[in-house]
Amino acid sequence: MSNEIHIDYNSGSTLYTVVRNGAGEVWYAGGQVFESWGTGSRTANDYDIPLTDKGGSRYVGDFGGNIPAGRYSVQAFLQAGANPADSDNLVWSDKIVWSGAGKVTCDKLLANKAVQNKSTGEIKYYDDDGQTVILIHTPVDAAATITRIPS
């Protein structure tokens, strides 16, 4: 996948993002791990995910295919100098639900392809391409309740 991050900000700027997990740790792509900010003397320059100015005040960037499935915060910073720095100003933030292969959104679950295995009950929800599975869950029937367990 690519361009999962979309940010509206004045064109002509240099923006980058960082991804944080629920514990507030930041994604360090070089080590493929979440860690506390500043581990090993790392700075924003080590954690940044660059954004591309597409014109018309729209920036896009890749979320990172090696980030495990989960719920994350994405923060965008305005780069003031030649490289990302810890002193750069935060200009935007949002949450993203990541399947490990793509961004999970309500419209994708409702409008895109979904296939249920009648034997197991497992339902696979697909991304816009109709090929990439973004969510799998298996409803369980018991008396008067149905439980959905995302996997």
Do 129 and 69 belong to one domain?
no
This prediction's pTM: 0.74
| Calpha distance 63→86 (Å, rounded) | 20
pLDDT digits (tens, 9 = 90+) for 19-42: 999 999 999 999 999 999 999 999
Do 94 and 111 belong to one domain?
no
pLDDT digits (tens, 9 = 90+) for 49-69: 999 999 999 999 998 879 998
Q: Please give the tally of structural domains in the chain.
A: 2
**Domain around 115:** 106-150
Say if CB 73 and CB 20 are below 8 A apart: yes
Could you tell me the pLDDT band of residue 1, with boundaries at 50, 70 and 90? low
Region 68-82 average pLDDT? 95
Do 28 and 62 belong to one domain?
yes
Do 71 and 132 belong to one domain?
no
Do 30 and 64 belong to one domain?
yes
The tokens describing 89, both together, are 């100003």
pLDDT at 111 over 80: no
Region 121-125 average pLDDT? 87
